[in-house]
Amino acid sequence: MTSEKVKLDKYGRKEMIGHIVGPVFIAALFFLVAGRVDISRAWLWAIITFLYYVGGMMVILRVNPLLLNERGSWSRKKDAKSWDKIMVQIFGVIGLYFHTILMALDVGRFEWSLLNPWFILPGMTLYTGGFNMVYWAMAENTHFETTVRIQHERDHQVITTGPYRIVRHPGYTGLIIANFGSTMILGSMYGFITAIATLLVLGIRTWLEDRDLATELDGYQAYRERVRYRLLPFIW
């Protein structure tokens, strides 16, 4: 966690605006594709999403504002890994847009499936737990940028505190958990398709990032030997 006193620049403000507009856009996309707004489980999901996006960013603004500036300017980073520029786009399309659209088609427009309401509570537990993991990682790691690169100009260090004591890529773990949770909240069996696809995409991204960090970031190999699991404790 950084203790630097940093003010938001235009890129940081852009990042903050994105975390306000983003969940509103995703909710609007869902209801537009669903063709109806009378889906109580969708409103629950949309409200939780908005609260966590905004609340999480307010926490980061307080404890790690430099990260917002860096994440907001990700497209300007010339030394980002070329493979990761592709992976970021794939993740966004599958894990965010396709996931939302498929669930909207499922439980809204065509009603292909509807999981029992008993899935709502465990889904909320996974969804909020996943977001908690993501923002915990962001609060601890000032190098938690949007794309993978060795941040030489910011004295890139291996982070070993907080969730990084459990797995090496807790942000990805949180995103995976959250996607499965959203599927359960909305009651969409077909949503598990894109949730699994997201797991595979982030699994590949994790493997590539872990490989590059081990060879390019001082101290990462020792950290990798100490914290054995990349994404899922006791599994991988």
pLDDT tens for 59-111 read 988 888 888 888 888 777 788 888 988 998 999 999 999 999 999 999 999 99
Q: Choose among 93, 234, 114, 81: nearest CA to 184.
A: 114
pLDDT digits (tens, 9 = 90+) for 171-229: 999 999 999 999 999 999 999 999 999 999 999 999 999 999 999 999 999 999 999 99
Q: Give residue limits of the domains in the chain.
A: 10-226
Residue 115 identity (one-letter amino acid): L
| Separation in Å, CA 139 to CA 47, 136, 182 | 23, 5, 23
**Which residue is it, tokens 């914290």?**
227
Query: Residue 50 in 3-state DSSP?
Result: helix
The CATH fold assigned to 10-226 is: Four Helix Bundle (Hemerythrin (Met), subunit A) (1.20.120)
109 with 39: CB under 8 angstroms?
A: no
User: What pTM does this model have?
Assistant: 0.91
Distance (Å, rounded) from C-alpha 210 to C-alpha 84?
12
Distance (Å, rounded) from C-alpha 112 to C-alpha 4?
51
DSSP-assigned states of every residue in 135-162: HHHHHH-TT--SS----GGGT-----SG
147 with 67: CB under 8 angstroms?
A: no
